[in-house]
Amino acid sequence: MLPYPPGGCPMSSGMQLAAGTRTDVGRVRKANQDSLAVVDSAALGGLADGLYVVADGMGGRAGGEIASSLAVQAVSEAVRDRLAETAPAADGSDLVEALAAAMRAANEAVWGQTRARPELRGMGTTCVAVLVRARVAAVGNVGDSRAYLLREGAITQITHDHSLVQEHVRAGDLSPEEARSSRFRNVVTRAIGVASLVEPDVACLRLADGDCLLLCSDGLTNMLRDGEIARILASEPDPQTAADRLVDAANERGGIDNITSVVVHAGVFVPLDLPGGTNGEVTLPREPLGAAAAASRPRRGYGLFAVAAPWTLAAALAVVLWMVGSGAFRLTPQWPFLAPVPPPAPRAPAAAPIDYARLHYGAPALVTTKPVRGWPLACDPQGAVYAMTLAGKVIRLEPDGQVRGDFGPPVHLAIAPPERSWAADPAGNLYVSVRRERAIYKHAPSGTRIAVIGEGRLQDPQGVAVDARGRVYVVDGTRLLRFPAEPPPGERANGSR
């Protein structure tokens, strides 16, 4: 995402918002399972300038319509309620937290209906939303509905699809063209209402005068390429006409799915006089934004370690270590995870060597009351833990429990965290958090699974880290937990570790 200037973002700017919306059943479907909402400043109690939501339902005709409608309503109501409970923050952190909480509330609403009404079992919905105040926009998504930013003629997708084909694109297994034609292109890996918990991806974006935002369902993006979408957005001065033209163009291409577009102009939008083309596309200059750059980073989907051979695990670990060592994870020039760490002070008497492979794990304990992101997470040899708050602030948790957060301004990551996270202990054992299994798998260097940590105790395990004593840290939803590590029973003469 775009970084903030020194001093943060202004709380007010006088920048006006204008929106146009259109949802259409398309040329093939019999019912429209898409839903949308535009909530203005008055409806938000003056606490934000606008909220824009698009949801694409699934799970049968009735179920899809209900799921998307419930999600849109729940997000709209929960955002307003959450903003009323929190003080405005100059860095937009309150917007991020409100939107994330609203999407979780939508998940609870849809999931509750599936549990209460058996005929609706299997329904769910995608959701993409943008919450704007002054020049700050919080952008969140679950599923493959998208948000785009058009700035000075350059279009950038500012959300990452939670879909099977996009996981393979990011992993380098498929090209974007192959993904567009794949028969699995509609398979999502994350959705609202299909499980008791969901973790939305939410981050901040700083708006500039003349920006254009687009929220849409995949019924639009499966029919039109990004260049074609950019051409329509860039050349049309009226957001309502732009929304209509996008839907009409998708229908002209076949309209095989429901189509929804929400177009938002921030400030004074100046259309471009673009030359015509034979295929409706135009080559536009691209502005390198954080989300677009991060989209090219490899990222593995479900099933990687379930079928991985030992050499695959070793190769994956080697790649991770190389990336850390080469600075591939560096987000700012002073990224604290990579700072040199002084050697530990000498201790006497020397502790007995730890047999990491044979450690047992107790019940997890809450490390801090601060909500944190699912990624990144790291430990240093002295036992300090680094995590990132929902607002993008890096914090250091000292071994004595004290929290430090003096690592500079917030870091604005690409929206999507990895589906899996892994860490290694000093003996080379690999720890992999598996979200769908709600557990952490521990593998020996040979690749053999030797332990399952947290089974039955975790809801949404994400980032994982291991300290020098073998204790395992994990972000469960937004809670940072620590599993104590102990030698096997009968070998605990030195006490708990």
What is the predicted pLDDT for the residue at 11? 40
Mean pLDDT of the chain, nearest integer: 79
Over residues 154-163, the mean pLDDT reads 94
Instruction: Out of 23-32, 36-45, 50-59, 295-304, pick the least confident.
Output: 295-304
Is residue 337 very low, low, confident or very high in pLDDT (cuts 50, 70, 90)?
very low
CATH 2.40.10.500 residue ranges of the chain are 310-337+351-486
How far are the Cα atoms of 405, 423, 424, 462 from residue 335, in angstroms, in the given order? 13, 18, 20, 21
CATH of domain 310-337+351-486: 2.40.10.500
Six token digits for residue 11: 């709380």
Where in the sequence of the chain do the CATH 3.60.40.10 domains occur?
17-294
What are the tens digits of pLDDT across the range 205-245?
A: 999 999 999 999 999 999 999 999 999 999 999 999 999 99
For 237-258, letters b (16+ CB in 10 Å) and e give eebeebbbbbbebbbeeebebb
Rounded to whole angstroms, the maximal C-alpha distance in the chain is 80
Per-residue pLDDT, averaged over 146-150, amounts to 97
Query: Residue 74: what pLDDT?
Result: 98
Q: Per mean pLDDT, which range of 95-99, 206-210, 211-215, 407-411 is the poorest?
A: 407-411
Q: What angle do CA 71, 74, 76 make, to 5 degrees?
A: 105
Distance CA 129, CA 64 (A): 18
Q: Return the beta strands (E) in 134-256 as ranges.
A: 136-142, 146-151, 154-157, 201-206, 212-216
pLDDT tens for 266-292 read 999 999 987 654 344 443 333 333 333
> How much of the chain exceeds pLDDT 70, in percent?
75
pLDDT attached to residue 203: 92
Distance CA 435, CA 417 (A): 12
Q: Which residue has the higher pLDDT, 481 or 425?
A: 481
3-state secondary structure of 347: coil
- Nearest Cα residue to 320 out of 341, 299, 334, 290: 299
pLDDT, tens digit, 9 for 90 and up, residues 436-478? 788 999 988 776 888 999 988 898 888 899 988 889 999 988 8
Per-residue pLDDT reduced to its tens digit, 365-404: 888 877 887 777 887 766 778 887 776 677 778 777 777 7
Give φ, ψ of 85 to 5 degrees: -95, -10
pLDDT band at 351 (very low <50, low <70, confident <90, very high): low
The pLDDT, as a whole number, for residue 349 is: 56
pLDDT tops 60 at residue 192: yes
Contact 188, 162 (CB under 8 A): yes
User: Which residues pair with residue 389 across a beta bridge?
Assistant: 372
Whole-number Cα distances in Å, 243 to 253, 263, 469: 16, 6, 57
Q: Which residue has the tokens 């918002």?
A: 17
CATH of 17-294, one of 3.30.360.10, 3.60.40.10, 3.40.50.300, 3.40.50.720: 3.60.40.10
Contacts of 150 (CB under 8 A, 6+ apart): 211, 212, 213, 214, 230, 233, 234
pLDDT at 177: 84
More confident of the two residues 127 and 281: 127
- The answer to whether residue 311 scores a pLDDT higher than 60 is no
Which has the minimum average pLDDT: 35-49, 106-120, 238-252, 436-450? 436-450
Cβ–Cβ under 8 Å, residues 99 and 140: yes
pLDDT at 278: 36
The pLDDT of residue 258 is: 97
Backbone angles phi, psi at 315, to 5 degrees: -65, -40
Residue 382: the pLDDT is 66
